């Protein structure tokens, strides 16, 4: 992220939602909670997996696959107007470090040598090779994901690959990144169905959803990868956004929103300096970005969308204890007294947030700054609705930075840093006020503001 001299043309505060997706998404708060625990594990005969062990990962995969078959058998006719054809090639489980070749006489999916599956899972659609229309996975890799991010991530992998099987039946988007993110969207639609208690064998609760989004960080493309790359899968923000789109709006959204006009936030590094720094501005310049871009954005937002005149609040830093006007000992402070003071802690919090990336820190400070804007609109600043709104408004601000409407420019990976910040600190009572919002919900409302502007942010716009 950089400061830059830029033409100050008309502030296009509502166009990005149209740019990124032709339809609006609706934020669902409080929905993700499991209502029905799975009663049993599906038997091997019902969902045979070639090479499967008796271990927990294969059981978890089989359970997910059984529920995926049920979900798509039910939903596919409504969404695509035809019956769902079961995968003809079946499923393959492999431990690449302990392969019994006799189990795989024709290889696994696409005739692949099972030893080449290390750290991977894939769907094979080619009709020209053995074992087409199948899903193969490295169960040792899935076990590692489960140990680090919980059982939900292996289920996500199954749901994503099953999404590719859905695409094989109805047609793929034109680009790799659209194909992969649409599969994430389809996985999100299934996940919402499970979270609502509809699955017989799988269970996903609120904590699982936060872990799932954290795990997506491993699945993003390296920062600086162009969206047009042949094997592009999407940035962290692109993939999380696609998943939540399916979760919120269902499989129909996945069907309708991945045409050639869809734009992705993943970008390629174009400057040598970005390659050297990962796109991060130095800490002192990051502070300048905060001090210049937030008042610039809100002044114009009031003038052109919200009405009235915005008075930039004092912006201060502190070490250790917050200013005396603070009602709680937190690192991000908004005080309605003292002229609407915004302050943030710079001894421990700011350096730690900056380690995620410069825009992570900018995202954090934008939240109490948005509370100052709410205060000037006569709205609450100290409850759950206020924080939800402030995070949504921060997404609106991030969209304007991304859309090059402010005097700062965004770097590849900056929006990923926003997601990381919200998952790491968004519901940490030492950072923000203690409110009942999960990381999943915070990312969802940030995404809504990014895509739709002020409309979903509860500020009367």
pLDDT digits 0-9 by tens, 76-86: 999 999 999 99
262 within a domain of the structure (yes/no): no
Q: Are residues 346 and 226 in the same domain?
A: no
Mean pLDDT of the chain: 86
Q: Are residues 58 and 185 in the same domain?
A: yes
The parent domain of residue 287 ranges over 2-17+273-457
**Alpha-carbon distances of 182 from 75, 132, 176, rounded to whole Å:** 16, 21, 10
What are the tens digits of pLDDT across the range 68-105?
999 999 999 999 999 999 999 999 999 999 999 999 99
Please tell me the predicted confidence (pLDDT) of residue 342: 97
Residues in CB range of 271: below 8 A, 6 or more apart:
none
Residue with tokens 């169960």: 139
Sheet holding 134-138, edge to edge: 49-50, 90-94, 134-138, 121-124
Q: Are residues 365 and 248 in the same domain?
A: no
Q: Are residues 243 and 376 in the same domain?
A: no
Query: Are 96 and 138 within 8 A, CB to CB?
Result: yes
Alpha carbons 173 and 192: distance in angstroms, whole number: 23
| The two structure tokens encoding residue 356 | 């995620």
Share of the chain above pLDDT 70, in %: 85
Q: Are residues 45 and 97 in the same domain?
A: yes
Please tell me the predicted confidence (pLDDT) of residue 349: 97
Query: Are 118 and 138 within 8 A, CB to CB?
Result: yes
Q: Are residues 345 and 418 in the same domain?
A: yes
Integer distance in angstroms from the first to the last C-alpha of the chain?
Answer: 28
Question: Beta strands of 84-218 (E only): which ranges?
Answer: 90-94, 121-124, 134-138
Q: Are residues 293 and 243 in the same domain?
A: no
Residue with tokens 């699955």: 199
Query: Are 422 and 363 within 8 A, CB to CB?
Result: yes
> How many domains does the chain divide into?
2
Q: Are residues 292 and 175 in the same domain?
A: no
pLDDT at 111 over 60: yes
**Alpha-carbon distances of 11 from 8, 275, 283, 298, rounded to whole Å:** 8, 30, 27, 11
Q: Are residues 224 and 358 in the same domain?
A: no
22 within a domain of the structure (yes/no): no
Helix, strand or coil, per DSSP, at residue 180: helix
Which of 198, 223, 256 corresponds to the end of one domain? 256
CA 346 from chain centre, in angstroms, equals 27
What DSSP assignment string belongs to 373-388?
HHHHTT---SSHHHHH
23 within a domain of the structure (yes/no): no
Q: Are residues 230 and 337 in the same domain?
A: no
Query: Are 69 and 42 within 8 A, CB to CB?
Result: no
pTM of the model: 0.87
Q: Are residues 415 and 449 in the same domain?
A: yes
Query: Are 149 and 126 within 8 A, CB to CB?
Result: no
Please tell me the predicted confidence (pLDDT) of residue 299: 98
What are the tens digits of pLDDT across the range 268-283?
645 555 555 566 889 9
Please tell me the predicted confidence (pLDDT) of residue 216: 81
């Amino acid at each position: 992220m950089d400061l830059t001299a830029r033409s100050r043309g008309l502030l296009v505060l509502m166009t990005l939602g149209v740019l990124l997706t032709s339809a609006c998404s609706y934020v669902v708060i409080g929905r993700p909670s499991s209502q029905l625990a799975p009663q049993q594990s599906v038997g091997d005969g019902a969902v045979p997996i070639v090479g499967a062990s008796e271990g927990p990962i294969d059981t978890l995969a089989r359970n997910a696959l059984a529920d995926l078959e049920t979900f798509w058998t039910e939903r596919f006719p409504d969404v695509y107007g035809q019956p769902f054809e079961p995968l003809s090639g079946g499923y393959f489980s492999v431990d690449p470090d302990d392969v019994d070749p006799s189990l795989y006489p024709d290889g696994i999916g696409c005739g692949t040598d099972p030893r080449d599956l290390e750290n991977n899972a894939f769907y094979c659609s080619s009709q020209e090779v053995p074992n087409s229309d199948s899903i193969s996975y490295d169960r040792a890799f899935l076990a590692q994901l489960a140990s680090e991010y919980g059982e939900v991530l292996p289920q996500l992998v199954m749901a994503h690959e099953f999404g590719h099987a859905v695409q094989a039946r109805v047609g793929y988007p034109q680009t790799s990144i659209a194909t992969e993110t649409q599969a994430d969207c389809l996985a999100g639609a299934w996940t919402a169905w499970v979270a609502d208690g509809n699955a017989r064998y799988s269970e996903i609760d609120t904590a699982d959803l936060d872990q799932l989004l954290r795990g997506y960080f491993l699945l993003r493309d390296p920062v600086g990868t162009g969206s047009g790359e042949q094997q592009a899968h999407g940035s962290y923000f692109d993939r999380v956004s696609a998943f939540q789109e399916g979760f919120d709006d269902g499989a129909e959204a996945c069907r309708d929103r991945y045409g050639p006009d869809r734009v992705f936030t993943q970008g390629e590094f174009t400057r040598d300096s970005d390659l050297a720094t990962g796109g991060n501005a130095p800490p002192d310049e990051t502070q300048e970005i905060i001090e210049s871009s937030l008042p610039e954005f809100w002044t114009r937002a009031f003038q052109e969308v919200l009405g009235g005149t915005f008075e930039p609040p004092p912006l201060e830093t502190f070490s250790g204890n917050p200013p005396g006007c603070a009602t709680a000992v937190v690192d991000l402070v908004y005080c309605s007294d003292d002229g609407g003071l915004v302050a943030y802690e710079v001894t421990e919090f700011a350096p730690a947030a900056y380690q995620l990336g410069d825009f992570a820190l900018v995202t954090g400070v934008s939240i109490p700054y948005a509370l100052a804007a709410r205060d000037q609109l006569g709205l609450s600043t100290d409850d759950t609705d206020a924080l939800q709104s402030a995070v949504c408004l921060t997404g609106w601000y991030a969209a304007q930075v991304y859309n090059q409407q402010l005097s700062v420019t965004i770097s590849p990976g900056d929006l990923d840093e926003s997601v990381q910040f919200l998952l790491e600190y968004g519901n940490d009572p030492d950072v923000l006020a203690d409110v009942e919002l999960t990381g999943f919900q915070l990312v969802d409302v940030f995404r809504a503001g990014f895509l739709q502007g002020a409309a979903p942010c509860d500020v009367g716009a």
